[in-house]
Each structure stands twice: as structure tokens, then as C-alpha cells.
A = this chain, B = another copy of it.
Amino acid sequence: MALEDLMMLLNEKRYVEWKERIKELQIPDIAEFIDELDTKHAIIAFRLLPKEIAADVFSYLSSERQSEISMLVDEKELTEIMDDLFFDDKIDFLEEMPANVVKRILRNVSEAERRLINHFLTYPDNSAGSLMTIEFVDLKKEMTVGNALEKIRRIGRDREIVYTCYVTDAKRKLEGIVSLKDLVLASPDEKVEDIMRKEVIYVDTYDDQEDVADIFKKYDFLALPVVDQEQRLVGIITIDDIVDVIEQENTEDFQRIAAIQPSEIEYLEATPLVLARQRIVWLMILMISATVSGYIIRRFQVAIEAVVALTAFIPMLMDTGGNAGSQSSVTVIRSLALGELKLTDILKVIRKELQISILVGLGLTLVNFIRVYFIEGYDISIAFTISLTLFLTVIFAKLIGGTLPMVAKKVGLDPAIMASPLISTIVDAVSLIIYFSLAVKILHIAV
């Protein structure tokens, strides 16, 4: 069904029909529709939503729209939305809202919930605690399967994922997990204790979200329990949030590789000043580092003055070296991120990059020699100088590109820092030294 029809119904105030049609849409599509309306119509549309889906739609709206709606609805409506939100969505929402909205909301919740919210807001960004929700189903091991299913029927409607249930003792310590599938497949008289799995993988509230995502990827979980320092079950993390974490971590790596300070702000939503600040730091560092290449060129000024033709090949040598190095560094950075490569594999990487760079270097050098000597008709000694420089540069670039990310990880830095731009700067300097040193020797330039 076309969104234009929905638009039209809203404009013509045909609200009964609109309410009928909206039922055919999925929640995220309704949110997308409301996000694209102007403020006035958005509020009307939001108020027309059936009560049972309003909070769900709200959790999918953009932060801006959420903030507008929170300011414009009355306190009763706001309390209703807040009550129906899943706890993790509520925390996500509060984290994004301006102080006045947060204040308005906290005024309308119970003292106990206010304390819980404040506690959740203190978990560091990117920690397991900041990702978890408190709506899980907890069972006791003495329960029968029948009792357990009854409890799920009673409380399951408000729980985010009931497909995994958690078995806790009197002190809320995690004792086991049991899936809804196992409960349904078991006979009603069996004890939960007898069908639960006791070897449970869990994380701590302060564990990093990247490690949490790795666990999900390895074990194909749908949900993962989170415990506090006293091993008490305090929440669960669900796979849908982990999908977002994976994309966020990938975005960070893309940003680091492109010499941008990582940030979660969306491009179109960020101001130019924020984006400029994100970008200028590394540009400045790299610009200043590039002076080294300048010094090398000045050091060999005599050689250049003797054979000015040498200058024409500087861009090709620098670019090829940079590209060869960035291929290796990005490959290694990615393999480390995916866990396909361990730090102990460094000798294998050196060996492999050496083999690859000899193969690639020979190919490039051959084509380059043909071009410089046969096609462009340069002197053979110049063609030889350039080709040899190219070959050595490719080998150096691939070795440094393959190993530096591993060294960075070894000393506790993010390997992605050792990506293309930094590698290029190093390779530039080295390729110029190789180039001019060879030129001086081979072309017998007196320096």
C-alpha cells in the first residue's frame, strides 16, 4: 500500500479509514511514515495509533521526533508511552533526550523506577550494561515444566524475548537456562532443573560490547544473560541490539581506516563543525608527518637538479607504495577483527606478505619497465632505477602494512589506527629514500 494514500487520508481527516489501513503496516514502517510527516501531522498520527502499538512505534522513531512528541503530549499520555516501552528502549531514548524532556519523564515515574533508570544511565557507553534490558523471564529450578509455561503465559506478554528463560536461585544468582522450545517439547511434569542447561555463558555488566558481539557470533545465541559483580542476573542482551553493535563497530573501523576520529553521530545529522573536528586531527598529524618526505627530497635536491626527470615518477611510486601497503594493512585489520587471525600468527603474516609482495612486485615492475623504457623511451638506467625502487617499495609496503596493525594490537592500541593513511606516510618516506639512493648509485650522480 502506498504511503501517499496514508498521507492523503490524514490530510483529509479521514481518521477512521487511516486507523484501519495502518494496521496492515509493520511497526518500523509506521515509524518511518511518522518520521517523514511535519510536526503537526506527526502528533496527530501518533495519537491515532492503537494503544497497544504506540510505544512500540515510538521506540522506532528518530530521536528528534521522539523529543518533539515527548514535549507535545500531555503528562498522562507520556506516562503511558513510558510504561509500555521496553526498558532498554527507554534507556536508549532517555540517553538521547535533552535535559528538560528527561526531567519531565522522571517526574512521572515511581521512586523505584527512577532509581533503576539512574543506575542504568551510569553504565559506560558500549558496555554490556548499557545494552541490556530487564524484561526477561526468570524461573526456579523446582518448578515443573507446566508451572513454568503457566508463568510464561502470565508474564510473557511484557517480556522482550521469552524464547530463552533464565533459572535463578533465591539470591537471584543465575543457575541455568532453558529455552521455550525445550519447555514446549518437554512433558508438563518434568522439573525445570532436569531440562535446563547448567553450563551457561554470560557476561558482566562492564564487559565491552565488542566482546559481547563476538560471543553472539561464535555461539549463534538469540539472547545472552548479564550478571553483576555478585553473579546476580540483572538483565539480558538480545540479538537485534547486537546486530546494531556489529554495524557500529564496523563503522568505527571504517572511520579509523579513513583517518577519521570514530563517532556515532549520523553524517546528515551532524553539524559541519562537528564533522570538521572529527576529521582535522588526523589530517593535521599526517600533514605534519609528510614533512619528513619533504626533507628527504630536499636532502637529495642535488640529485633532482641533475636529473629532473626523476620527479615525474614520484607520484606513481608514492601511490603504488601506499596502495600496496593499505591492501595489506586493511586485510590484516579485518582478519584480526573477525578473529581469523591471532597475534601469534605474525610470522605467518610476514611470510605470506613477503610471498605476495614478490609476486605482485614482479608483475608491477615488469609492466612499469615496459612503459618507461620501451613506450616512453627513457634511458635504461633510469628505467632500471624506477623499476627496482617500485619492486622494493612494494615489498616494504606489504611487510609494514601487514605487521604494524599486529604490533599496534600487541601494545594495546586499536589495529585499525595502523591503516592506509599512516602506512602511506611511512611508505612514502621510505620509497623516496630507496628511490634517490638508488638513483645516486645507478646514475652515478655526485652528491
Report 14 cross-chain contacts, Cβ distance below 8 Å, ordered by A residue: A152-B185, A156-B181, A184-B184, A243-B243, A251-B338, A283-B323, A288-B371, A293-B315, A294-B313, A294-B315, A315-B318, A319-B424, A323-B421, A420-B420
B218 touches A28 (CB 8 A): yes
A287: Cβ under 8 A from any B Cβ: yes
CB distance from A394 to the nearest CB of B (A): 8
**A219 CA to B28 CA, complexed, in Å:** 6
Q: Assembly of this chain: how many copies? A: 2
Q: List the B side residues contacting A445 at CB < 8 Å.
A: none
A428: Cβ under 8 A from any B Cβ: yes
Contact with A184, one of B153, B297, B326 (Cβ below 8 angstroms): B153
Q: List the B side residues contacting A282 at CB < 8 Å.
A: 323
Q: Mark A175-200, 1 if CB is under 8 A from B, else 0.
A: 00000110011000000000000010
Q: List the B side residues contacting A363 at CB < 8 Å.
A: 276, 280, 284
CB distance from A325 to the nearest CB of B (A): 10
Q: List the B side residues contacting A311 at CB < 8 Å.
A: 297, 301, 304, 311, 314
Q: List the B side residues contacting A199 at CB < 8 Å.
A: 24-26
B340 touches A286 (CB 8 A): no
Q: List the B side residues contacting A287 at CB < 8 Å.
A: 316, 319-320, 364, 367-368
CB distance from A434 to the nearest CB of B (A): 14
Q: List the B side residues contacting A10 at CB < 8 Å.
A: none
Q: Mark A216-255, 1 if CB is under 8 A from B, else 0.
A: 1111101000000000000000011011101100110111
